[in-house]
Amino acid sequence: MRRAVCPGSFDPVTHGHLDIIERAANLFDEVVVAVGVNASKRRLFTAEERMGMLEQACAGFPNVRVAGFSGLLTTFCQEHDIHAIVKGLRAVSDFDYELQMAQMNSSLTDVETVFVPTSPEYSFLASSLVKEVASFGGDVSAFVPGFVLARLTARLDEVAARPQDA
């Protein structure tokens, strides 16, 4: 069984992520979408919420499953018998860091990183930018599934209604 992992924070999942996950699912027998659950990072959505949205978004891909991970990705790969990490590359700016990470990961364990070039229509897409644009009232409906848009809008409204921290 050829099994790959698509790691990330997915805060929240975008069409850019789903494009890479779908293409990975066409290349491998099984794809595990690994959601970083590192509690120290500030996220708009909890790990459970991010995983739930991914499960819904990936429901149409029979060979894709969603899991949480903390700690080293290479340890996760060893525990799940995974020998390939699939990463989307958006721009040259992604490459330096991703190359360094791929080389580090392959030196830690027997894992290959496979870079998939982003589809041109998603090359500018990042969860952080989607959140920023949406928080200022911009229309991000083209970039995330409809149910994610509804969750995002509701969460941003909640955050905006909270009293500001001193």
Residues near ligand ADP, by CB under 6 A: 8-10, 16-17, 20, 87-88, 90, 118, 122, 125-127
Q: Which is nearer to ligand ADP, 16 or 44 (CB)?
A: 16
Token pair 């903390």: residue: 70
Please, are residues 156 and 149 in contact by the beta-carbon 8 Å criterion?
no
Give the Cα separation of 166 and 162 in Å (integer). Answer: 12
Residues 67-103, buried b or exposed e (16+ Cβ, 10 A)?
Answer: eebeeebbebbeeeebebbbbbbbeeeeeeebeeebe
CB of 111 to ligand ADP, least distance (A): 15
For ligand ADP, give the closer residue by CB, 31 or 125.
125
Q: Tokens 């721009």 map to which residue? A: 91
Q: Nearest approach, Cβ of 10 to ligand ADP (angstroms)?
A: 5
155 as an active site residue: the answer is no
* 87 catalytic per annotation: no
Q: Which is nearer to ligand ADP, 74 or 127 (CB)?
A: 127
Q: Which of 9, 15, 127, 131 is catalytic?
A: 127
Question: Residue 131 catalytic?
Answer: no
Q: What is d(CA 36, CA 20) in angstroms, rounded to the nearest whole number?
A: 17
What residue is closest to ligand ADP based on CB? 88
From the candidates 23, 90, 135, 155, give the one annotated as an active-site residue.
Answer: 90
- 83 catalytic? Reply is no
Catalytic machinery residues: 17, 41, 90, 127
